[in-house]
Amino acid sequence: MSNKTFSIDTKISALKYLEEGRYSVREICRMFNVNVRNLYEWQAKYQFGGINALLCPAKNKIYPEELKRNAIEDYLTGNYSKHELMVKYGISGQTVFNRWLKKYNSHSELKDSNQRMTQTMTKGRKTTLEERIEIVKTCLKNEKDYKKHNGFG
């Protein structure tokens, strides 16, 4: 996936051509130097939230756990495509949805997007290489649960 950013005018023009149907998707992608996936993501965002949804957000969008679960359950029924779910739930992109689906399929917990990382590994003192090796050995010996064996859980 490209990190290239596109102006709002470019996005609107590409979507206008797509809606008019005078050009094929491939032709539109070539004209605007955009990949098919991005073009369809723009379309889904526009259908969900209009022009404002096409603007680049200042920060990541927050999705509640229930929305994630509902979107995945809808997808698993086979009645919706990923594109349709992006429109229905206002999902910012297929990559976001694919991450949720991967977590769901691996039986990992889906959490609200606004839940931050625990402070276990984000704060603390600097450790030497020897101390880190000792921590790893201890974790391996004690069921690999760093939080449990270091007073964090």
Domain containing 18 equals: 8-54
Q: What is the pLDDT along the chain (153 residues), one digit of tens a residue?
A: 445 789 999 999 999 999 999 999 999 999 999 999 999 999 998 998 888 888 876 677 889 999 999 999 999 999 999 989 988 998 888 889 999 999 888 888 888 776 554 444 445 677 788 888 887 788 777 766 555 545 554
- DSSP-derived letter for residue 115 is P
- Per-residue confidence (pLDDT) for residue 9, from 0 to 100: 93
* Beta strands per DSSP E along the chain: none
- Per-residue confidence (pLDDT) for residue 137, from 0 to 100: 82
| Same domain for 124 and 153 | yes
Q: Letter for the amino acid at 19?
A: E
CA 98 to CA 82: how far, in whole Å?
9
3 belongs to a structural domain: no
76 belongs to a structural domain: yes
CA 142 to CA 26: how far, in whole Å?
55
